[in-house]
Structure 1
Amino acid sequence: MEHISNASFAVLDFLMSFVVVSPCVVFFWRGSWGILDVYLYPNQMELSAWICFAYGNFVMILTGLVQKYSTKINKLKNVVFYFVLSRLYIYILATGSVAQWRGIWNLQDYYTGKTWHSALSSFVIGSGVICCLRCVKSIMAAAPLLVAHDTDHVKLFRITGILGSKVSCSPWFIVDMMMTPLLLHTLIVVFWRGLWTLMNICLYPEDNVQSGLFSLVASLALAYPTLIGQHFIMSFVKKQGHKNKICVVLILNLYLVMASCLPVAHWRGIWTLQDVWLIPENKAISVWMSHTIGFLGGVLVLSAKSIPVSGCLLDRNIGKDNRRLVDITYFKKIRDYICFQENVKSQNSFNGKEKTKQENENKPIEFTFITHL
């Protein structure tokens, strides 16, 4: 029965990630990106891109530097205040993330063009440099291959860096929080932009419906080898250890780059189909609807933290623990969280009864007429 239960949770988690969470994420990104296209100097692409680049990096760096103080939101006992402030934090981080990506993406389009030469070089440079930095897992850390839970209070305000520094006021930590968005996130956008543009050029460029559907189907076709292949890769990494380190790194990088193509194709499919089917005659209304539905949907399913792209995932940590390469667990985590809370309550209740019993046993007997009798 346990195997049947685990299999059921695996199917439900897959559907939740690919059908619910990832569309909400893409809806928000497409809407936020479109809002900036409509209102932020629409006729001056270069200026608009530089403003987004500056604002986005400012938000990403600032949220990383102040996480020592933002984590104090977890200590709020008022549920309403905690909910509003935590979701406001996610919203600011998400809008900053979108602005950063739009700035980098449009600056590349402006200065290098949208040719296949530019796209291919962007894809090769992005993947090559990130492989050298051993941060390829950060490329695939997006829906539908990553589902972040808003109930995870520990990770909700935690932003990791490329240097792996601990939260402090040290210069090393400051450099880490600046280098991660300025270097790593820029390279991730370079990779995504290269692959996305290549798909625009090669996949039915004259028919957006067919192009979007083909991209979506391609992402679903990659899902099975990606989800199943992670178990073989993890087993291989743990088995080899330090014996064939170069071979391990090459095979791991090959798998991670292949897996990173899945979210790009998935996002592009949903994004393109929205452009075609979601009120195409009025872009302003379309993008505002997309923006609103995406964020409210993420909040309602308790996965709004999946929207922003922040922090860094280091490849050198792969194989050192039992964590999966692809984490799309949703219902299983909720079940485990509920079971954990019930165990804590029952344990506290048991400890409270034992404590009361001990206090009563150790309590001195008052000498009264009744006790004397």
Structure 2
Amino acid sequence: MNSPVFYVVSRLYSYILGVAIINYWRGLWGLVDLSGFTLQSAGLTTVISTIALVLCRGSSNSLGPPLFTITDLGRKDYFKITTLFKTKPGPSLRFYLDSCFSVVFVTGFAITQWRGLWNLLDLLLAPDDVFQSAWLSLVAGNILAVLLFIIQWPVMWFAGKIRRLPQTNAEFIGLLGIEDLMTFCGTLASVLVWRGCWYLYDQCLIVHNTDLSLWVSHGVAMVIGMVTLHYPTLMLNGLFMDGEVINSGDKTFFDTKFISNFTQYSVDAYKKKFERKQRKARAVNIEEEKLLVTDKLILHKDVNHNASMNDTNF
């Protein structure tokens, strides 16, 4: 398991990165709101952002909980943040351009897509009753998420059938289209759930003291995220390119396998610990055998020496 020092440093790093990302989200949302709070503005924001993400093959980066989670099991690659084109980090122009493109364009369009969908829901989903709108949003989002969880297996099975066909541009575009459609539906479900929870917290969580409500919400969410080893889910610590999931050969489209991942990690950690004990035991046995051989050699020399002394005296 992780050492206490690594646990503290890694969570502090995640917290700082999370604050930076939230500021980025808040800034872009504010800029989008300058275009007005109308159906036309929200619709154009959603359409333009979605098309841009499809064209740059970054649609999969708009997914969020409950359809996408990231576990922080182990130290491997915890501090690694991947760019869209997976350029090797280093002092190169290509890496800088990839980083700028990933942050400014891909992440930016994902954020504005969320804002566009959010505003559309504000305008269309019971706009005169915030409490009712929040519940409708939460229920609809969870229903859509469950439906997507159910259909992901036949979708991936169908994608596997397409992959077995001779590879042409039509098959490639078809697979990307399937992934983009699933991703957009997943993004809509995520926005619905987030929006529902967001407004319900505003309506129900310590409504008489806004500052205390914000601090409680922030603190509880942070602690739960860290304790359940899901804190990286709250931040963007890497980007994916469309086509990676649909061509992966996995049986599931959405990565939310926390229990199985945690179980596998626990099993692997136990195996590694058991192997270390075995290696240590073998090393101890080897040292004991060396000491035993050394003792035998010393004893043999002493016997020979005593025998030679007896012969001399005789």
Q: Separation in 1 of the partners of 2:45 and 2:152? A: 26
**Matches of residues 281-300 of structure 1 in structure 2 within 5 Å?**
281-300=208-227
Aligned match of 1:322: 250
- Greater Cα shift, 312-321 or 205-214: 312-321
For the Cα contact (< 8 Å) 2:160–2:249, is it kept in 1?
A: no
- Greater Cα shift, 227-236 or 321-330: 321-330
Aligned match of 2:132: 210
For the Cα contact (< 8 Å) 2:175–2:243, is it kept in 1?
A: no
Question: What's the TM-score, normalizing by structure 1?
Answer: 0.73
**Matches of residues 53-92 of structure 1 in structure 2 within 5 Å?**
79-92=3-16
Question: What's the TM-score, normalizing by structure 2?
Answer: 0.86
2:181 to 237, 254, 257: 254
**Matches of residues 201-280 of structure 1 in structure 2 within 5 Å?**
201-241=123-163, 242-243=167-168, 244-280=171-207
Which structure has the greater CA radius of gyration?
2
SS in 2 for 1:279: coil
1:332 to 253, 260, 273: 260
For the Cα contact (< 8 Å) 1:233–1:252, is it kept in 2?
A: no
SS in 2 for 1:322: coil
For the Cα contact (< 8 Å) 1:116–1:201, is it kept in 2?
A: yes
Deviation at 1:314, TM superposition (A): 1.0
Q: Separation in 1 of the partners of 2:125 and 2:302? A: 92
Task: State the percentage of identical aligned residues.
Answer: 27
Structure 1 residues 150, 223: closer, same or farther in 2, change over 3 A?
same
Matched to 1:263, the amino acid is: S
Unaligned runs of 5+ in 1: 1-73
| Deviation readout 1:168-190 (Å, 9 max, x if unpaired) | 22221122222211111110011
For the Cα contact (< 8 Å) 2:141–2:193, is it kept in 1?
A: yes
1:154 to 68, 73, 76: 76
Q: Separation in 2 of the partners of 1:286 and 1:166? A: 43
Q: Separation in 1 of the partners of 2:277 and 2:237? A: 39
Structure 1 residues 358, 288: closer, same or farther in 2, change over 3 A?
closer
| Deviation readout 1:337-366 (Å, 9 max, x if unpaired) | 121111112222223333444455564432
Structure 1 residues 367, 170: closer, same or farther in 2, change over 3 A?
same
Structure 1 residues 211, 256: closer, same or farther in 2, change over 3 A?
same
Deviation at 1:206, TM superposition (A): 1.2
Q: Separation in 1 of the partners of 2:92 and 2:150? A: 41
| Deviation readout 1:83-114 (Å, 9 max, x if unpaired) | 2221111111111111101100111102x101
Aligned match of 1:349: 277
Structure 1 residues 351, 323: closer, same or farther in 2, change over 3 A?
farther
Aligned match of 1:127: 50
Is residue 2:64 matched to residue 1:136? no
SS in 2 for 1:154: coil
Q: Moved runs in structure 1, 4+ residues, more than 6 A?
A: none
2:24 to 89, 100, 107: 100
Aligned match of 2:100: 178
Structure 1 residues 128, 172: closer, same or farther in 2, change over 3 A?
same
Structure 1 residues 264, 118: closer, same or farther in 2, change over 3 A?
same
- Greater Cα shift, 310-319 or 83-92: 310-319
Unaligned runs of 5+ in 2: 305-314
- Greater Cα shift, 189-198 or 319-328: 319-328
Structure 1 residues 300, 320: closer, same or farther in 2, change over 3 A?
closer
Q: Separation in 1 of the partners of 2:285 and 2:204? A: 67
Structure 1 residues 361, 321: closer, same or farther in 2, change over 3 A?
farther
Is residue 2:91 matched to residue 1:169? yes
| Deviation readout 1:99-157 (Å, 9 max, x if unpaired) | 101100111102x10101011111111111111111211111x2212222222322421
Equivalent pairs, count: 295
Matched to 2:101, the amino acid is: M
Aligned match of 1:20: none
For the Cα contact (< 8 Å) 1:180–1:311, is it kept in 2?
A: no
For the Cα contact (< 8 Å) 1:135–1:314, is it kept in 2?
A: yes
Matched to 2:108, the amino acid is: T
- Greater Cα shift, 186-195 or 157-166: 157-166
- Greater Cα shift, 316-325 or 289-298: 316-325
Q: Separation in 2 of the partners of 1:265 and 1:234? A: 24
Q: Separation in 1 of the partners of 2:252 and 2:74? A: 17
Q: Separation in 1 of the partners of 2:299 and 2:36? A: 96
